[in-house]
Structure formats: structure tokens, C-alpha cells
């Protein structure tokens, strides 16, 4: 596996100087943030990320994300032009060494939580989703904003988008995903890039918007649209794992055996009876997911893709972008290193026996 860390570029309070001090850290996961979704990224911006990482002893070889414009997801308006721009972005990032592109196909909103700073008994804070709080949220009120969302929508625009998705429905969204994959994956393949779709977070419809990258059946359907390692998954344990119907170690085992996981986002969540969940420390006993079983499944299947510790809590007085501080993600990376080292030793011993 290749250990990686997400970095938000020049404005990220977490510096590359610090990131490189995490043991076994290799790759930087980043993106060009100075253009709107759908636009072509400038080569200068891409080259700057690659160069800056290299100067810090790190490799920029994973993009998260190249956003998919709503016109592509809705199959309308400037869809054809946005698809061309998307392909051009893949060619451009590949030119500067990128091997994996993470993206998602969630309508309107990226990941959703009801609170970003929920305090736990140990004084740390983390992101949570409480069904009770969700019931009181109106995304059209204009008061709602979360770091994963594009905050630039005006109320009227949002209303129109909601109506368009209601009309499109799940099967319509599948149709547009199919078109996207059939156009984009061959370009990625030719450039040596693996496209890695991120599951919907949480993996069920929210605010009445359709969501399709949610469960094993749908992941199978998505992978079958273009049967190539260039059409792969970002298997995010926390996103898929906040629904009880997903068995994460089993899914990791299956898709790693098929060589269809390009990128692992590893984090733990604590699931509640009513479907609410809290983001927790990576360590298995802190949440509902068996981290050792997840890493074992990867190692058993010779996984050699990218791994990143996902959302961390805020600890030790750190402030910053919710989920993306340094300390708890660094602890996550160190813990994952330990699990991988042990599993690899055991696998090696089995092979030599
Ligand atoms: C959340 C992230 C997501 C992810 C996108 C991929 O912290 O994992 O925002 O980057 O869904 O396109």
C-alpha cells in the first residue's frame, strides 16, 4: 500500500513540512482549488502542487477530487463541454504524475453531517450525524452550510436543482453516470490513471435527492458499466460503514480480490440504533468498524493502492478544517501503519510456510 495524506494546498494550515514527518508518509492527495467545478485546471497550478510536494520529499500522485459538474450528473445544459473539460483535466494531471483520481457522483451536496464539533467525554470534538437534528434541517433555507458543500449556490438555484433531480430520479442518475464512465474511463486508461468513485456519504438518499453509490449491489452495477481497473473505487469505510446494511470487511475483501479498489479512505464510525452516527478515533474499539479485519482483507489480496487516514477528530487544542486537522489523522496513519506491518508479516510467514 501507499500511505497518503490529504492536503488542501497553500491555504491549508497543515503544512507539508509536518505531513512528511509522519512515518511511512509517501503521497499527497490534493486538487486545484482556484477554479470552479467544470473548468479546466491550469497546468501551472498542477505543476505547482507537484513541485511543492517534491520539494518536501512527497509525491503528488492522487487527486481528490475533480468535481463532476451538475450538468453532467443531470445530463443537460453544457454537459458535452463539461465532459470534454473533465477528460482534459485527466490528461493534464496525468502529465504531472497523477495515477489516481477520486471523484463522486452525489447530487448537489457532497458529504453531510448535522454537527461538526460534537464534544465527546474525553474533550475531543468530531463530526456527527444525528437523525433528530437532520429532521429539523431544511437545505433550502439558505442557512445551512457544511465544509463538504459548494456554498456558492443561491436559494433559487438550489430549488431548481432539487426539482431537476426529483424529475431525474435514480435511474436517470444511473444513465448519466453510465455516459460519464463510458466517455471518461477510456481516457483515464490511456493516461495510466485509475478513476476511483467515492461512495455517497451517508449512503442513502438525503433531502429527497437520489443517491446511488451506496451498497454492494450498486457498486457491482457501477463497476460492470466499464469493466476495467481504470474504473475503480475509493472505498471509504466511514461513508459506506455508516449504514448497517454494508458489511465493510466483506466488501473490502471482495473488491480487493477483484483489484477494483484504487484508493482506501480508512476511518471509524460509531453507529447508533436509529441510524445516527459519530465519527470516532480510528482504533477499532472506538467505533463500529473492525479496522484489523479491513486491513487483513487488503493485505490478503495483495492491495497495492493508496490508503489515507480519513477524517480525524480535533484533539490537543487544534483548530482548523473539520475532519482535516493534523494530529488525529497522523495518529490514524500511525495506527494503520501498525496494522499493515503486522498483517504483512503474517502474510509473508504464511507464504513461506
Ligand atoms: C470528505 C471526503 C469527500 C470526498 C469526495 C470525493 O471528507 O471524503 O468530500 O473528497 O466525496 O469526491
In this prediction, what percent of the chain has a pLDDT beyond 90?
88
Question: Measured between alpha carbons, how far is 19 from 16 in angstroms, rounded to an integer?
Answer: 5
Confidence of residue 316 (pLDDT cuts 50, 70, 90): very high
Q: Which atom of ligand 1 is nearest to the CA of 265?
A: 8
Beta bridge partners of 28: 5, 60
Q: With a cut of 90, say whether residue 138 has pLDDT above it.
A: no
Question: For 246-289, how does the pLDDT look when each residue is reduced to its tens digit (9 = 90+)?
Answer: 999 999 999 999 999 999 999 999 999 999 999 999 999 999 99
Please indicate whether residue 268, judged by its CB atom, sits closer than 6 Å to ligand 1: no
Give the fold, CATH level 3, of 2-352: TIM Barrel (3.20.20)
Using CA positions, which residue lies closest to atom 12 of ligand 1? 103
Q: Is 238 helix (H, G, I), strand (E, B) or coil?
A: helix
Question: Could you tell me the distance, in angstroms and rounded to a whole number, from the CA of residue 265 to the centre of ligand 1?
Answer: 9
* Mean pLDDT of the region 280-306: 98
b/e per residue, 156-178, with b = 16+ CB within 10 A?
eebeebbebbeebeeebbbebbe
Under a CB-based contact definition with an 8 Å cutoff, are residues 225 and 182 in contact? Answer: yes
Confidence of residue 148 (pLDDT cuts 50, 70, 90): low
Question: For 159-176, how does the pLDDT look when each residue is reduced to its tens digit (9 = 90+)?
Answer: 899 999 999 999 999 999
Please indicate whether residue 202, judged by its CB atom, sits closer than 6 Å to ligand 1: no
Question: For 39-54, how does the pLDDT look when each residue is reduced to its tens digit (9 = 90+)?
Answer: 999 999 999 999 999 9
Q: With a cut of 70, say whether residue 226 has pLDDT above it.
A: yes
pLDDT at 134: 85
User: Which of 111, 150, 238 most suits a substitution to test ligand 1, by most atoms within 8 Å of the C-beta?
Assistant: 111
User: Which of 33, 65, 126, 312 most suits a substitution to test ligand 1, by most atoms within 8 Å of the C-beta?
Assistant: 65
* Mean pLDDT of the region 308-314: 96
Confidence of residue 146 (pLDDT cuts 50, 70, 90): low
Question: For 118-135, how does the pLDDT look when each residue is reduced to its tens digit (9 = 90+)?
Answer: 999 999 999 999 999 888
Question: For 174-200, how does the pLDDT look when each residue is reduced to its tens digit (9 = 90+)?
Answer: 999 999 999 999 999 999 999 999 999
Confidence of residue 9 (pLDDT cuts 50, 70, 90): very high
Residues 6+ apart with CB under 8 A from 220: none
Please indicate whether residue 279, judged by its CB atom, sits closer than 6 Å to ligand 1: no
Please indicate whether residue 263, judged by its CB atom, sits closer than 6 Å to ligand 1: no
**Helical (H) or strand (E) element with 296:** helix 291-300
Please indicate whether residue 198, judged by its CB atom, sits closer than 6 Å to ligand 1: yes
Q: With a cut of 70, say whether residue 244 has pLDDT above it.
A: yes
Residues 6+ apart with CB under 8 A from 113: 127, 128, 129, 146
C-alpha cell at 286: 472506538
User: Which of 8, 101, 102, 105 most suits a substitution to test ligand 1, by most atoms within 8 Å of the C-beta?
Assistant: 102
Q: How far is CA 187 from CA 42, 68, 127, in A?
A: 19, 16, 36
Q: Phi and psi (nearest 5°) for 46?
A: -65, -45
Q: With a cut of 80, say whether residue 92 has pLDDT above it.
A: yes
Question: Measured between alpha carbons, how far is 60 from 256 in angstroms, rounded to an integer?
Answer: 23
Please indicate whether residue 58, judged by its CB atom, sits closer than 6 Å to ligand 1: no
Please indicate whether residue 323, judged by its CB atom, sits closer than 6 Å to ligand 1: yes
**Helical (H) or strand (E) element with 263:** strand 261-266
Q: Which atom of ligand 1 is nearest to the CA of 324?
A: 7
Question: Measured between alpha carbons, how far is 44 from 25 in angstroms, rounded to an integer?
Answer: 25
- Residues marked active site are found at 198, 236, 265, 310-311, 324
Please indicate whether residue 110, judged by its CB atom, sits closer than 6 Å to ligand 1: yes
Question: Measured between alpha carbons, how far is 197 from 203 in angstroms, rounded to an integer?
Answer: 13
Question: For 56-82, how does the pLDDT look when each residue is reduced to its tens digit (9 = 90+)?
Answer: 999 999 999 999 999 999 999 999 999
Question: Measured between alpha carbons, how far is 27 from 96 in angstroms, rounded to an integer?
Answer: 14
Using CA positions, which residue lies closest to atom 6 of ligand 1? 103
Helices (H), 100-259: 131-135, 155-191, 216-225, 237-240, 248-257
Question: Could you tell me the distance, in angstroms and rounded to a whole number, from the CA of residue 65 to the centre of ligand 1?
Answer: 7
Amino acid at each position: 500500500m501507499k500511505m497518503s495524506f490529504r492536503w488542501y494546498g497553500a491555504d491549508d494550515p497543515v503544512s507539508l513540512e509536518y505531513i512528511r514527518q509522519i512515518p511511512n508518509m509517501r503521497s499527497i492527495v490534493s486538487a486545484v482549488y482556484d477554479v470552479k467545478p467544470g473548468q479546466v485546471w491550469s497546468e501551472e497550478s498542477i505543476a505547482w502542487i507537484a513541485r511543492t510536494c517534491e520539494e518536501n520529499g512527497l509525491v503528488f500522485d492522487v487527486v481528490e477530487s475533480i468535481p463532476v459538474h451538475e450538468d453532467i450528473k443531470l445530463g443537460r445544459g453544457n454537459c458535452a463541454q463539461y465532459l470534454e473539460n473533465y477528460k482534459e483535466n485527466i490528461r493534464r494531471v496525468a502529465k504531472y504524475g497523477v495515477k489516481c483520481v477520486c471523484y463522486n457522483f452525489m447530487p448537489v451536496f457532497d458529504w453531510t453531517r448535522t454537527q461538526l464539533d460534537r464534544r465527546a467525554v474525553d474533550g475531543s470534538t468530531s463530526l456527527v450525524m444525528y437523525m433528530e437534528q437532520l429532521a429539523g434541517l431544511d437545505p433550502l433555507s439558505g442557512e445551512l452550510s457544511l465544509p463538504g458543500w459548494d456554498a456558492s449556490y443561491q436559494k433559487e438555484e438550489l430549488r431548481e436543482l432539487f426539482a431537476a433531480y426529483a424529475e431525474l430520479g435514480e435511474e436517470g442518475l444511473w444513465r448519466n453516470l453510465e455516459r460519464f464512465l463510458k466517455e471518461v474511463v477510456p481516457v483515464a486508461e490511456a493516461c495510466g490513471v485509475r478513476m476511483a468513485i467515492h461512495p455517497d456519504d451517508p449512503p442513502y438518499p438525503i433531502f429527497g435527492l437520489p443517491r446511488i453509490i451506496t451498497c454492494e449491489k450498486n457498486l457491482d452495477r457501477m463497476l460492470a458499466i466499464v469493466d476495467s481497473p481504470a474504473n475503480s473505487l475509493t472505498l471509504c469505510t466511514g461513508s459506506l460503514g455508516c449504514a448497517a446494511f454494508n458489511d465493510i470487511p466483506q466488501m473490502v475483501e471482495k473488491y480487493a480480490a477483484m483489484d477494483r479498489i484504487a484508493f482506501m479512505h480508512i476511518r471509524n464510525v460509531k453507529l447508533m440504533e436509529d441510524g445516527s452516527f459519530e465519527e470516532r478515533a480510528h482504533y477499532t474499539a472506538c467505533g463500529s468498524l473492525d479496522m484489523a479485519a479491513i486491513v487483513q482483507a487488503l493485505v490478503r489480496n495483495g492491495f497495492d493502492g493508496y490508503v489515507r487516514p480519513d477524517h480525524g477528530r480535533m484533539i490537543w487544542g487544534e483548530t482548523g478544517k473539520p475532519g482535516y486537522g493534523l494530529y488525529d489523522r497522523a495518529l490514524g496513519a500511525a495506527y494503520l501503519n501498525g496494522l499493515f506491518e503486522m498483517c504483512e508479516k503474517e502474510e509473508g510467514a504464511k507464504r513461506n510456510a
